[in-house]
Structure 1
Amino acid sequence: MSFRNPNILIPATIDLLALGSSTLYLRSQILQNREEQEARLDEIEGTLRGHIGLIEDALDRVEGKPNANKQEELYGARGKDRKE
């Protein structure tokens, strides 16, 4: 069996090209899904920070403390974390 035989070389080349192109395609899909997942997690993080701020503000009102406005602090902290 020789690699100079065109009956073997052409199918082997096609198989390698198909394998390489499918690998690149799957890699691009994985990277895209990863970016989308990070965006979803950032949105969830912001929502959780906002809810925590609302809960802490409500607790401060129940305890009779002055309005500390923690909701705005937590939303603002999220933006500062991303810029660094």
Structure 2
Amino acid sequence: MAASALRSPILFIGLANLFAISGSTYMLRSHHIYNLEEHEARMDELEGTLRGHIGLIEGALDRLEGNKAKSVKEK
């Protein structure tokens, strides 16, 4: 009885489907985790770039306000 169950094509197809679903789930999960890590790295890089630009803008604004204050004092 057990030997005939092992030769059953339905059991073989069922196990093949189970392995295919498990393998594809694992592959998709690992790909998703990789994409999340890449996204986080891109966001960190973008944050650094934005902080740098904000620093440049604040510096330019400070210089402009400093020049404006000097010209008001001179008058």
So what's the TM-score if we normalise by structure 1?
0.70
Structure 2 letter corresponding to 1:40: R
Structure 1 letter corresponding to 2:24: S
Count of residue correspondences? 62
Report runs of 4+ in structure 1 exceeding 3 Å deviation: none
Question: 1: distance between equivalents of 2:9 and 2:43?
Answer: 52
Gap runs ≥5 in structure 2: 68-75
Matches within 5 A, 1:60-75: 60-64=62-66
Aligned-residue Cα RMSD (Å) equals 1.4
Bigger relative contact order (CA 8 A; separation at least 6): 1
Structure 1 letter corresponding to 2:19: L
So what's the TM-score if we normalise by structure 2?
0.78
Kindly name which structure, 1 or 2, has the bigger radius of gyration based on alpha carbons. 2
Identity %: 56
